[in-house]
Amino acid sequence: EAQVTQNPRYLITVTGKKLTVTCSQNMNHEYMSWYRQDPGLGLRQIYYSMNVEVTDKGDVPEGYKVSRKEKRNFPLILESPSPNQTSLYFCASSRVVTVGNEQFFGPGTRLTVL
C-alpha cells in the first residue's frame, strides 16, 4: 500500500533529551516535508526537502534538524527538546514538484515534552 509512515506515533519525553521522529514513504517521491500542528495555529512547515541531500527551512525551523540521505526517509531530529515543541507532527511527501501536486500525509506523531 502506498503510504507515508511515521514512528513513533506517540512520544513523551523530558526537556533536553534528544529524539528522532522517523518518516518513510514508499511512493518514490522526491519532495518531503515536516509540519507541526498546534491548536489555533493550523499547520506550519518546519523543513522540507526537494530531493536527496537537499533540505531547506520552512516557516518554523528553530530547534529542529532534518536529513535526507535516502529518497524514502526524512527523519526529524530534536537535539534538545523544549516544552514549546509539544505538538502534533506530520510528515508529507509528493512527486516531483509540479503545479497542483498533492501532498500525502503521514498519520502524525504526538509529542509531549515535559
Minimum Å gap between C-beta 102 and other proteins is 5
Nearer to other proteins, 13 or 94 (CB): 94
Minimum Å gap between C-beta 43 and other proteins is 4
Nearer to other proteins, 56 or 70 (CB): 56
Nearer to other proteins, 31 or 81 (CB): 31
Give contact residues for other proteins (rule: CB under 8 A).
31, 33, 35, 40-45, 48, 50, 54, 56, 58-59, 90, 92, 97, 99-103, 105-108
Q: How many CA atoms lie within 13 A of 103 on its CB side?
A: 15
- Quote the CA–CA distance of 80 and 85 in Å, as a whole number: 10
Minimum Å gap between C-beta 22 and other proteins is 17
Minimum Å gap between C-beta 99 and other proteins is 6
Q: What is the 3-state secondary structure (H, E, C) of the chain?
A: CCCEEEECCEEEECCCCCEEEEEEECCCCCEEEEEEEECCCEEEEEEEEEECCEEEECCCCCCCEECCCCCCECCEEECCCCHHHCEEEEEEEECCCCCCCCCEECCCEEEEEC
Nearer to other proteins, 20 or 103 (CB): 103
